Amino acid sequence: MGKKKAAGGLGRALIKERTRSQRGLRGTDSWLHTSELNDGYDWGRLNLQSVTEQSSIDDFLATAELAGTEFVAEKLNIRFVPAEARTGLLTSEETQRINQLQEENKQFLCIPRRPYWDENTSAEVLKQSEREKFLEWRRQLVKLEEEQKLILTPFERNLDFWRQLWRVIERSDVVVQIVDSRNPLLFRCQDLERYVKEVSSHKENIILINKADLLTQEQRKSWAEFFQTEGIKVVFWSALAEGQRLAADTKDDMAQDREESTDEEDSDDEICDTPIGKSPTLENEELCDTSDEYEDCEEDEGWQTCSEEAEDEPVAVGQESERLQDAVICNDSHLVQSDELLEIFKSIHNGQRIKSEQITVGLVGYPNVGKSSTINTILGNKKVSVSATPGHTKHFQTLYVEPELCLCDCPGLVMPSFVSTKAEMICSGILPIDQMRDHVPPISLIAQRIPRHVLETVYGINIIRPREDEDQDRAPTAEELLSAYGYMRGFMTAHGQPDQPRSARYILKDYVIVRNVLKRSNAQCCHLSHWSG
């Protein structure tokens, strides 16, 4: 006997559902989970979870709920924001106002000073006074931000890093401040130059503009004239380009040596007993012989610095007339090579030295501007660890290039400086790109700095043209640039639209690390306006 078919239950299910909807919920009295929430207190009625950290909006709503304040949503109150208002950039009036405030308060933008000490000061007393000075300095910067409503770059808040800077300045005869050629004024700290002179009037300041191969001859000339009016020596340098040049020269020399060795073997039918030329292994061994002179700050005793070494009688090198003659700064726009850079280091200081038998050159600056790369290029061997992560160097290191020339590499320090927007900090490599919340402002800034045709040529894209009723010479918007880049690279979302956040990260990383030649064609116009009038 076959199985009895079940009676159809579709009609019965519909009837039950209708009955349940009529008697079950009864308005909003149910404690079941629902997405239908009313305004006021009901929105957080069952928020039974441990809260240890809140965002600003969550903290505001929780505080309002505790205070008994109710909020009612304003529905159907829609306001359309035009595309030009979504750039996240400042207007010309706002930029002018912020620049005026920065100029009025630039004397308060300083670095922490090391408190006075001598040989009678104990280590504990010195540590305590340094902490007090450092805390006072941090409070001053916070007060500057709150009262004047100015934006400061993130700066180093670890006292130990500033201690390394103090020790490097104290033991150096020449302090070289390395800056990025794409924005030298942002990475330059004028208060650092003043502090060097406060420690000793015999010390010399130099600004080394790294990645200067990205600048044209006219741009380098403009920067040289600018720093000459500032009364400071500037040198144009590219550690990457110089390293590639030296590697190519070494490769050619080795090939030529092998050819000469092969010719001699063919003619004499014997192996030459004396090697011809130097191999990289021999060069590395010779450089490693000098590694015994390598010093790390951990090997120094406690709080002993070059201030104690300076108690010995300093030696005056050169005559006073030569010093007065060198006081007249004459900058050159020439892109120097490693041997020329060493000659500048050895010849610029003609005063009293910390050590009579040598001259010490300290390299300071922001993280990842090329301090360690500069040392490695000069030495021709990787003596200092290099990383793309900012702040890789943790302690200052001293290396001898020659018996009378010592280089001192200081850990990278983010020094406080003024900026107009966070977009500028992202484009300058100060803030991490992968952690940015809004990609529109920095991309809009890049679109304004780099001409449309340069972006199209570098990336092989076609950016949509302005409408007939718009300015035909306007810069492309962030949406136009990212859409063109996303379509070309195939960066699409699940809905078939260009993935703009992903495209923005690629373009920003190219801009920051200069993987493609994305340089500002009007760099001198952007920055020299600060001093030209």
What confidence score (pLDDT) does residue 86 get? 63
Q: In the predicted model, is pLDDT for residue 234 greater than 90?
A: yes
Maximum average pLDDT range among 307-321, 402-416, 508-522: 402-416
Evaluate the CA torsion angle 262, 268, 269, 270 in order and state its sign: negative
Length of the chain: 533
What confidence score (pLDDT) does residue 48 get? 46
CB 367 within 8 A of CB 415: no
Q: In the predicted model, is pLDDT for residue 219 greater than 60?
A: yes
For residue 350, give both structure tokens: 């003609």
Q: In the predicted model, is pLDDT for residue 7 greater than 80?
A: no
Asked which of 52-61, 138-147, 269-278, 288-297 is least confident by mean pLDDT, the reply is 288-297
Output 432 or 518, whichever has higher pLDDT. 432
Distance of CA 360 to the CA centre of its chain: 26
Q: In the predicted model, is pLDDT for residue 281 greater than 80?
A: no
Output 505 or 266, whichever has higher pLDDT. 505
pLDDT, mean of residues 59-85: 66
At 256, the pLDDT band (50, 70, 90 cuts) reads confident
How far is the C-alpha of 336 from the C-alpha of 234, rounded, in Å? 11
User: Among residues of the chain, what percentage have pLDDT more than 70?
Assistant: 67
How far is the C-alpha of 192 from the C-alpha of 310, rounded, in Å? 21
Which distant-in-sequence residues (6+ apart) come within 8 Å of 213 by Cβ? 238, 240, 241, 335
With H, G, I as helix, E, B as strand and everything else as coil, classify residue 478: helix
How far is the C-alpha of 451 from the C-alpha of 408, rounded, in Å? 40
Q: How many CB atoms lie within 10 A of CB 506?
A: 17
What confidence score (pLDDT) does residue 383 get? 54
Q: In the predicted model, is pLDDT for residue 318 greater than 50?
A: no
Q: What does the mean pLDDT of the chain come to?
A: 75
Output 492 or 525, whichever has higher pLDDT. 492
CB 99 within 8 A of CB 92: no
Return left, alpha or beta for 32; rule: phi > 0 is left, psi -120 to 50 is alpha, else beta: beta
Question: Which residue ranges form the domains of the chain, and what is each CATH number?
Answer: 153-243+285-409 (3.40.50.300), 421-532 (1.10.1580)
How far is the C-alpha of 215 from the C-alpha of 521, rounded, in Å? 8
What confidence score (pLDDT) does residue 143 get? 85
At 316, the pLDDT band (50, 70, 90 cuts) reads very low
Q: Considering only CA atoms, which of 498, 460, 462 is closest in space to residue 479? A: 498
Which distant-in-sequence residues (6+ apart) come within 8 Å of 137 by Cβ? 110, 111, 112, 113
b/e 107-125 (16+ beta carbons within 10 angstroms → b): eebbbbbbbebeeeeeeee
At 521, the pLDDT band (50, 70, 90 cuts) reads very low
What confidence score (pLDDT) does residue 186 get? 84
Return left, alpha or beta for 496; rule: phi > 0 is left, psi -120 to 50 is alpha, else beta: left
Q: In the predicted model, is pLDDT for residue 291 greater than 70?
A: no
How far is the C-alpha of 202 from the C-alpha of 175, rounded, in Å? 11
pLDDT tens string 327-379: 456 788 889 998 999 999 988 888 888 888 889 999 998 887 888 888 888 88
Please give the DSSP secondary-structure letter assigned to residue 379. H
Beginning with the edge strand found earlier in the chain, give each strand of the sheet holding 405-409 in spatial order.
233-236, 204-210, 174-180, 359-365, 405-409, 397-402, 295-296
Output 70 or 137, whichever has higher pLDDT. 137
Output 29 or 241, whichever has higher pLDDT. 241
Q: Residue 37 is which amino acid?
A: L
At 390, the pLDDT band (50, 70, 90 cuts) reads very low
Q: In the predicted model, is pLDDT for residue 212 greater than 60?
A: yes
Instruction: Using alpha carbons only, give the angle 134, 388, 294 rounded to the nearest 5 degrees.
Output: 70
pLDDT tens string 454-466: 999 999 999 999 9
What confidence score (pLDDT) does residue 237 get? 93
pLDDT, mean of residues 491-516: 86
What confidence score (pLDDT) does residue 363 get? 93
How far is the C-alpha of 304 from the C-alpha of 317, rounded, in Å? 26
End-to-end CA distance of the chain, in Å?
106
Maximum average pLDDT range among 8-12, 23-27, 318-322, 338-342: 338-342
Q: In the predicted model, is pLDDT for residue 405 greater than 80?
A: yes
- Give the per-residue SS3 of 103-132: HHCHHHCCCCCCCCCCCCCCHHHHHHHHHH
CB 141 within 8 A of CB 152: yes
How far is the C-alpha of 236 from the C-alpha of 163, rounded, in Å? 29
SS3 content of the chain, % helix, strand, coil (to 5): 50, 10, 40
b/e 193-207 (16+ beta carbons within 10 angstroms → b): bebbeebbebbbbbb
Maximum average pLDDT range among 16-25, 33-42, 321-330, 398-407: 398-407
pLDDT, mean of residues 138-164: 85
pLDDT tens string 172-201: 999 999 998 888 988 899 999 999 999 999
